[in-house]
Structures are given as structure tokens and as C-alpha cells.
Amino acid sequence: MEAIVSIRNSNIYIDKHLVLSDVTFDINKGEFIYLIGKTGTGKSSLLKTLYGELPLTDGEGEVGEFDLKKLKRKQIPFLRRKLGIVFQDFQLLTDRSVAENLIFVMKATGWKDKNKMKARIEEVLEKVGLSTKSFKMAYELSGGEQQRVAIARALINDPVLILADEPTGNLDPETSDNILTAAFRHQQIRKGHLDGDA
């Protein structure tokens, strides 16, 4: 199996406060992983370490070809271009439409062909059940719809790994199942589902 993520004997800190100790795990290509625990036990902190918001100072860690322990600030955007991240608070641009939120990410990650961008936006919005909402402003959407936009944004670059912090918390069970099945069914997408907000 090909490991997309490899963490060995790592301690996770916020500032100098130890949050998680002796963390060791692999995520292999094609795996669908859930990490479940009580609020405040370090799940979101682990996510932040994987996408470079928290530095890894103890142990060893790799995400794709990036060594987290040697990761420089200027490399973080390149790491994140390989990832799809669904933030717990969505982090949408509320003064822009659904399509404009996706275009913003696409331009920031090197997309230039407008026809290909349009086709990809239609594809991901179809996956999350928002194909008729591309023109809507983000602030006009319900909480569940905003969450779907955040998931679509994470899918837009066909990432090697998706990290999701409570990705379906505002959705009903049937919609959650439909979105996760559609969005994460093929082997090229990995998802880490963190149930909590450490």
C-alpha cells in the first residue's frame, strides 16, 4: 500500500502546551479514515499539523512528498494545493457567489482555462447537490448549503488527501450519506473525518 500520510512518534503542541503525545499512524492511498473522540482531545490540532498550520517539532511526519518537520513557511501553500480541507467554520467568502468562491480557489492554485474551470465547477457542485445554486451569494445559503460549498471547494483540485473537520455536522443523515458517497467514493480521494473541535 502507498502511504499518503506517515506520522511517527510525534508530539503535537499548541504553543508549548502538549496536546497529543506519541502519535504514530499511516493513511494509505484509497483509505477512508474516521478519527473520533471527545471535544478537546486534540483531533483538530492533529489536522492543523497535517496541513501546516501547527509546526511538527517532535517525531517524524510526511504528507505526500512534504516533510512536516522540515516544512518551511513558503512551502505551506504548495502542501495545501495537494490537499482538500473542509474547515469546521466553512471559511467562505460571504460577499461572493458560490461559483466565485470556487473560482477564487482555482485561480489561487493555477487554473487559467475558463472553460475547464466552468466544467469543473459544474462537476463538483453536481456531486454535492448544488448544481442550481452557483449564482447564489454565500450569505444567502443555509448552514447546510454553505457546508456543501466548503466540501465542493475541497474537491475542486482533485486532491491526494481530504482533511475534513466535521464535514457533515449541519446536514441531515440522508444528505450526509449522499454527499460523502458521491464526494469520496473513488480511490483518488482520501478523507480524514474529525468528529469534534479540539
- Give the integer Cα–Cα distance in Å for 137 and 140: 5
- Give the integer Cα–Cα distance in Å for 98 and 100: 5
Predicted TM-score (pTM) of this structure: 0.73
- Give the integer Cα–Cα distance in Å for 40 and 22: 17
Instruction: CATH number of the domain at 79, please.
Output: 3.40.50.300
Q: How far apart are the first and last CA of the chain?
A: 30
> How many domains is the chain partitioned into structurally?
1
Q: What is the pLDDT of residue 49?
A: 94
Q: How many CB atoms are closer than 10 A to CB 55?
A: 13
Mean per-residue pLDDT pooled into runs of 10, the chain (198 residues): 90 92 91 82 90 93 94 89 80 92 89 94 92 93 87 88 72 65 46 39
Pairing of strands 161-165, 191-195: parallel
Q: Domain range holding 92?
A: 3-195
